[in-house]
Amino acid sequence: MCNKKPSVIVTDGCDSMKAAIKAVFLKATHRLCSWHMEKNVTSNVKDEGLRQLFTRWIYSNMEIEEFEAGWDVGAEEYRLHDSFWAKETYDKRRIVLKLVQNVELMVREYQNNELEAHFKFIHGNPVITTCLDILERFVATVYTQELFLDVRKEIEGIGVVNFVAKVRRSMNIVYIVEEYGIPVRQLMVLYDRVVNRLHCP
């Protein structure tokens, strides 16, 4: 995490975890995992109608007032006031994970990060990936991003040749190289120092 503390922590509602989160991650928001909540409901509620009501409360995107009104009606209908488990669950209502909202926020943040990375790629310095990093850095400063990507492919191709010899001829230098894995196929590259240009005859 590069020493970055989490802003939201989702757990199964364990009291020890809740206490640890409060002590260690002071600014983090603690939320309950909806899957664990639903599993807890399935284990403790036998009435199918009440189970469906709990599932609606867990996953529906509703206002607080709407939930509270629904809870009052459900508590009366299913006599939840007498249930210790129901009261304990009701007390946890403020830390139940709003699954859909949180997933939407996560997707939005991911898309934003993608756009930011794309912008940096287009307008910033590219990541150097070839073994000829000095040449690649130079090319990155000379060409547009689009041309740079094409030239980088050529640089990657150059990176798979072995140097054999160098011969000076007047103002030129001739480099003799061979393709990696094919030593019998030698190539000559002419470097013109006057115009600072490479040429493959």
pLDDT in tens, 117-163: 777 766 767 777 777 778 888 888 888 777 888 888 888 877 777 77
pLDDT per residue as tens digits for the range 25-81? 888 888 888 788 888 888 888 889 888 888 888 777 778 888 889 889 988 998 888
C-alpha atoms less than 13 angstroms from C-alpha of 89 in its C-beta half-sphere: 24
pLDDT for residue 109: 83
Residue 103 confidence (pLDDT): 59
pLDDT of the residue at 1: 67
Write down the pLDDT at residue 95.
62
| Whole-number pLDDT of residue 55 | 84
- Supply the pTM of this predicted model: 0.41
Instruction: Give the C-alpha separation, 1 to 61, whole Å.
Output: 31
Nearest to 161 by CA among 193, 188, 198: 188
- Mean local confidence (pLDDT), 4-25: 85
Q: Which residues contact 142 (CB under 8 A, 6 or more apart)?
A: none
Assess whether pLDDT exceeds 60 at residue 101: no
**What is the structure's pLDDT at 99?**
47
Confidence of residue 97 (pLDDT cuts 50, 70, 90): very low
The answer to whether 129 touches 151, Cβ cutoff 8 Å, is no
Q: How far apart are CA 198 and CA 175, in angstroms?
A: 10
- Average pLDDT rounded to a whole number, residues 85-100: 71
Where in the chain are the domains?
8-101, 125-159, 160-201
In the prediction, which pLDDT does 198 show?
79
